[in-house]
């Protein structure tokens, strides 16, 4: 059993597969949070979810910048997630 998603993939220096998989997970989480935001009635919870979405988007941009520098052949795929 793996301790985290990345344990199932080759190191980033060798392959972007783990980072691509992580980007997909992050995109799915943004979709989930966006759906929750649409029906949120508590202002505090709404703001917290919106902040979380922004944080995840920032994490995604950081990962994409690393893919751009290290695995440019996977950049288009990463950007399409």
pLDDT in tens, 40-70: 999 999 999 999 999 999 999 999 999 999 9
Residue 72 pLDDT greater than 90, yes or no = yes
pLDDT in tens, 1-22: 557 777 889 999 999 999 999 9
Predicted local distance difference test score (pLDDT) of residue 2: 57
Predicted local distance difference test score (pLDDT) of residue 3: 73
Predicted local distance difference test score (pLDDT) of residue 8: 86
- 56 CB contacts (<8 Å, ≥6 apart)? 26, 29, 30, 33
- Global pTM value: 0.89
Could you tell me the two tokens for 31?
């979709």
């Amino acid at each position: 059993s793996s301790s985290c998603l990345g344990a199932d993939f080759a190191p980033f220096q060798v392959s972007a597969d783990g980072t691509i998989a992580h980007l997909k997970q992050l995109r799915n989480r943004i979709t989930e949070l966006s759906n929750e935001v649409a029906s949120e009635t508590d202002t505090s919870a709404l703001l917290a979810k919106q902040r979380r979405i922004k944080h995840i988007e920032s994490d995604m941009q950081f990962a994409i910048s690393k893919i751009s520098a290290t695995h440019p052949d996977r950049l288009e795929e990463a950007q399409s997630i």
